[in-house]
């Protein structure tokens, strides 16, 4: 997935960093001009120097910077949903339907965003969820993400499609990672992937259950539209124009993938889950659950955690936001295993709301890609820092100085109150 800048139609003598900084500075000037028009506020002084990752004010602001830094097809790959991308947007918007009930008369001399999960201490409930093929966003790809995860002590879930080997990621992160699993439709490959991941130091296998469609079946219109505007010649970077994950991702290297036709078995049933449970020696998480029924079934069949996710709205246009699915999953699981969630989390208040509704931890996907594309490792670090800062601020403001203090009464759904 790595691409050469000179072939992108971008000025070849600029480095990625310089290009991103220049593009960012232009956007920043636009925002400032827009703000002046709207508010008639006094002029803001000229900016000195290019925009740095730590100057970006919030997580969403990394998206236009990433767009400016990336070739259209690669940005389209990150941005795309299905059909009209309405579920991608619902994931984000639905957080706005929840209100925080801020409490007073609380001792706020110490705030602590830390949690203990699966026996490990985390500084923050925010983890880096799986995002595939990150060398499409930055030449260092997942290696830069792993270094950012290490400096910020963030838990990482490595994608099956990672463009950097799992062994290297474990080394750079210097802590166990979770391996997301697309099992494919060939059981021999499923077994080999699990064995390889566990041998390399993954302490959890995260089975994705929301991607049963065969390769190319999902209607990723935004990606296809973006690709049509991208004049680059794909085979120049994608050896043999191979876009199928099993033909390019290091996790598959050396395996005989000639029988693989898709990322998941056509019958991903509970019997199949039992079979997988039997070969996973460590923890097995099930990711992609959006109903209480499936959460209950996953736990009954051995899941050590359930992850509420609709794949960032990338697989089916359900119009159902994951934050709205969290309560029914939490209720069905009844505390037997942790419930995690991802999808549309863009603010510390979103993390707070997910915790209040019963999630133990919250994953972020696209924002990693945005930060990485715009600024490399520093961008991912800045994204994590913003979540941490915003989460701590709302915890203090809402009178909940620890994660454990964020109870079910900390939020209300505005239509269901």
Q: Give the residue numbers annotated as catalytic, written as ranges.
A: 311
β pairing state of 411-413 and 361-364: unpaired
Between residue 100 and residue 159, which ones bind ligand GLV under the rule CB under 6 A? 132
Nearest residue (CB) to ligand GLV, 24 versus 162: 162
Nearest residue (CB) to ligand GLV, 76 versus 358: 76
Using rule CB under 6 A, residue 314 touches ligand GLV? yes
Count of residues in contact with ligand GLV, rule CB under 6 A: 4
Nearest residue (CB) to ligand GLV, 124 versus 179: 179
Q: Are 249 and 163 contacting, i.e. CB atoms less than 8 angstroms apart?
A: yes
How far apart are CB 46 and ligand GLV at their closest, in Å? 41
Q: Are 166 and 193 contacting, i.e. CB atoms less than 8 angstroms apart?
A: no
Using rule CB under 6 A, residue 190 touches ligand GLV? no
| CA pair distance 360, 337, nearest whole angstrom | 10
Nearest residue (CB) to ligand GLV, 98 versus 182: 182
Q: What DSSP letter does each residue of 178-238 carry, written as one string?
A: EEEE---S-HHHHHHHHHHHHHHTEEEEEEE-S--SPTT-S--HHHHHHHHT--S-GGGTS
How far apart are CB 132 and ligand GLV at their closest, in Å? 4
Q: What DSSP letter does each residue of 107-167 carry, written as one string?
A: --S--B--EEETTEEESSSEEE---S-GGGT-TTTHHHHHHHHHHTT--BEE-TT-SS-HH
Nearest residue (CB) to ligand GLV, 149 versus 206: 206
How far apart are CB 369 and ligand GLV at their closest, in Å? 11
| CA pair distance 239, 243, nearest whole angstrom | 9
Look at residues 20, 44, 42 and name the one whose alpha carbon lies nearest to residue 32: 44
What angle do helix axes 62-69 and 72-79 make, rounded to 10 degrees?
140
Question: Tokens in use for 251?
Answer: 């996790």
Per-residue CA distances from 18 to 12, 25, 140, 230, 372 (Å): 11, 10, 16, 22, 14
CA 220 from centre of chain? 18
How far apart are CB 80 and ligand GLV at their closest, in Å? 8
Nearest residue (CB) to ligand GLV, 124 versus 132: 132
How far apart are CB 130 and ligand GLV at their closest, in Å? 7
Strand partners, 98: 413
Count the neighbouring beta carbons within 10 Å of the beta carbon of residue 38.
Answer: 8
Q: SS3 for 41?
A: coil
Q: SS3 for 411?
A: strand
Using rule CB under 6 A, residue 366 touches ligand GLV? no
Q: Are 198 and 170 contacting, i.e. CB atoms less than 8 angstroms apart?
A: no
Q: Are 115 and 352 contacting, i.e. CB atoms less than 8 angstroms apart?
A: no
Nearest residue (CB) to ligand GLV, 157 versus 333: 157
How far apart are CB 37 and ligand GLV at their closest, in Å? 38
Residue whose C-beta lies closest to ligand GLV: 132
Nearest residue (CB) to ligand GLV, 311 versus 346: 311
What angle do helix axes 16-39 and 366-375 make, rounded to 10 degrees?
110
What does the binding site for ligand GLV look like in residue numbers (CB under 6 A)? Answer: 132, 161, 311, 314
């Amino acid at each position: 997935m790595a691409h050469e800048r000179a072939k992108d139609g971008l000025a070849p003598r600029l480095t990625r960093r310089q290009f991103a900084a220049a593009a960012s500075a232009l956007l920043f000037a636009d925002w400032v001009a827009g703000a002046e028009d709207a508010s008639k506020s006094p002029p803001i002084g000229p900016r000195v120097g290019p925009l740095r990752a730590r100057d970006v004010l919030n997580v969403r602001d990394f998206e236009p910077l990433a767009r400016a830094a990336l070739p259209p097809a690669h940005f389209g790959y990150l941005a795309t949903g299905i059909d009209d991308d309405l579920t991608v947007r619902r994931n984000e918007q639905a957080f706005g339907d929840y209100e925080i009930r801020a409490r007073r008369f609380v001792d706020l001399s110490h705030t602590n965003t830390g949690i203990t999960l699966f026996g490990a201490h985390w500084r923050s409930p925010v983890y880096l969820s799986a995002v595939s093929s990150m060398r499409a966003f930055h030449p260092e790809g997942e290696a830069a993400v792993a270094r950012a995860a290490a400096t910020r002590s963030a838990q990482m879930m490595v994608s099956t499609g990672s463009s950097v080997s799992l062994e290297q990621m474990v080394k750079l992160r210097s802590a166990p990672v979770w391996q997301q699993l697309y099992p494919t439709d060939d059981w021999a490959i499923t077994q080999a992937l699990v064995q390889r991941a566990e041998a390399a130091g993954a302490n959890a296998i995260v089975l994705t259950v929301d991607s049963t469609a065969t390769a190319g079946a999902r209607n990723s219109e935004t990606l296809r539209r973006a690709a049509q505007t991208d004049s680059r010649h794909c085979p120049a970077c994608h050896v043999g124009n191979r876009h199928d994950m099993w033909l390019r991702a290091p996790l598959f290297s050396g395996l005989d993938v000639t029988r693989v036709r898709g990322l998941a078995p056509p019958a991903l049933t509970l019997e199949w889950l039992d079979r997988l449970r039997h070969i996973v020696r460590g923890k097995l998480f099930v990711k992609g659950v959006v109903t209480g029924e499936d959460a209950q079934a996953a736990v009954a069949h051995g899941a050590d955690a359930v992850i509420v996710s609709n794949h960032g709205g990338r697989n089916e246009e359900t119009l159902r936001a994951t934050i709205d699915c969290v309560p029914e999953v939490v209720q069905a699981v009844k505390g037997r295993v942790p419930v995690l969630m991802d999808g549309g989390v863009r603010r510390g208040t979103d993390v707070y709301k997910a915790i209040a509704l019963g999630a133990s931890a919250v994953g972020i996907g696209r924002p990693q890609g945005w930060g990485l594309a715009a600024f490399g490792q520093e961008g991912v670090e800045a994204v994590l820092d913003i979540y941490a800062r915003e989460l701590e601020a709302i915890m203090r403001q809402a009178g909940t100085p620890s994660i454990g203090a964020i109870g079910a009464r900390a939020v209300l759904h505005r239509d269901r109150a």
